Structure 1
């Protein structure tokens, strides 16, 4: 039973090592693009949350 866990851990470590060997540092252009997309996603999710809160306030008629 414990041999199975040891094998899973060894497999995980070898897969992790393989992934780390092929990764690279993103360029400044790639970093800025990822930051813009993340910021836009945060703004969209926040706006949706605000709209849901406002609709709930109008429907229920109670404050937060």
Structure 2
């Protein structure tokens, strides 16, 4: 059983090394685009959460909050 874990760890490290060898540093343009997309996603998720909270407040009339 210990060999199974050792083999899994060895495979994971080999796959991780392979991925790191293929990756590259993003350009400034790519970085800004990723930051914008992340920001829009955070705002969208926050807005959805706010809307759900407001709907819950209106349905329950302020109870349980």
Count of aligned pairs between the two proteins: 64
Which residue pairs with 2:57 in the alignment?
A: 57
Which residue pairs with 2:44 in the alignment?
A: 44
Give the Cα separation in 2 of the matches to 1:27 and 1:7. Answer: 36
Unaligned runs of 5+ in 2: none
| Secondary structure of the structure 1 residue equivalent to 2:7 | helix
Name segments (4+ residues, structure 1) moved above 4 Å. none
| Secondary structure of the structure 2 residue equivalent to 1:4 | helix
Q: TM-score, normalised by structure 1?
A: 0.92
Give the Cα separation in 2 of the matches to 1:56 and 1:14. Answer: 49
Which residue pairs with 1:2 in the alignment?
A: 2
Give the Cα separation in 1 of the matches to 2:50 and 2:5. Answer: 46
Whether 1:12 and 2:12 are equivalent positions in the alignment is yes
Which is worse superposed, 34-43 or 54-63?
Answer: 54-63
